[in-house]
Amino acid sequence: MPRQARKKSSCGIYHIMLRGINKQNLFEDNDDRQRFIDTVGYYKAISGYSLYGYCLMDNHVHLLVKEAGESISMGIKRISSSFVYWYNQKYNRCGHLFQERYKSEVVENEGYFLTVLRYIHQNPIKAGIVKDVEQYPWSSYREYTGVANITDVDFALGIFSADRVKAIELFKKHTEEESKDQCLEVRETIRVSDEEVIAQMKQLGIQTVNQLQRLEKKKRNEIIRTIKRIEGVSIRQMSRIIGLSKSVISRI
């Protein structure tokens, strides 16, 4: 059966996701991550695309791009081929690294553009890697709030305000909003064990369930919200571990 043709964006903007083949990790260390970012930046000049956002996770990458000149498909092919060649040389391996067909969706209005940009930057939070987007070094967030490197930040900031300082503050506020955005969502079935949840609680300074239950309500709820954001942790599981009802946890 032939593949379904990709939908063409009327304005040329796409949300792209590259995934590791067989769900394998794409990056073994930070040198690999930096190499990928450098590769994306290098091919901007050749392919002519604009880059509005990116986030490197362990086994997938999100890009928010606008094609210009050659097709974005060719740009992605250049990026992936170059990175895989370098990666295979470094690790003395051969064969594919990326899933053959990258996933994409069109982004055709400002509202959804900002939703996708927030979704991309919040990926590390939803995966339980960091508590704040500012803490994650492998996304374009810091380019928006500091010095831009490969990201074309002016377009997105201009949506918020013509005043640069005000635009950055509004961008931060928008990005930090708690959301349930699901853009180009491809969720794996992830299960987090009770032991892993308890270990995460200990990292948050909670050594026992009794200690959590004795906390002042506001502080207790902050801890619970943090645990709820970890991908693969269910409300039922939290209820079993913490000793609060599912309805109470759901409302927090």
Under DSSP, is residue 88 helix (H, G, I), strand (E, B) or coil? helix
Question: From CA 168, how far away is CA 155, in angstroms rounded?
Answer: 12
3-state secondary structure of 49: coil
If one counts every other C-beta atom within 10 angstroms of the C-beta of residue 235, the result is 16
Q: What does each of the 252 residues of the chain score in pLDDT, given as a tens digit?
A: 445 667 788 789 999 999 998 778 899 999 999 999 999 999 998 999 999 999 999 999 999 999 988 899 999 999 999 999 999 999 998 888 998 788 999 998 999 999 999 999 999 998 889 889 999 999 999 999 999 999 999 999 999 999 999 999 999 999 998 877 778 765 444 567 788 888 888 888 888 888 888 899 999 999 888 888 876 788 888 888 888 888 888 888
| Residue linked to tokens 């987090």 | 192
Structure token pair of residue 5: 């043709």
DSSP H helical segments within 96-234, as ranges?
110-126, 141-145, 154-160, 164-176, 194-203, 209-214, 217-228
Domain 13-176, second-level architecture: 2-Layer Sandwich (3.30)
Spans of all domains in the chain = 13-176, 194-251
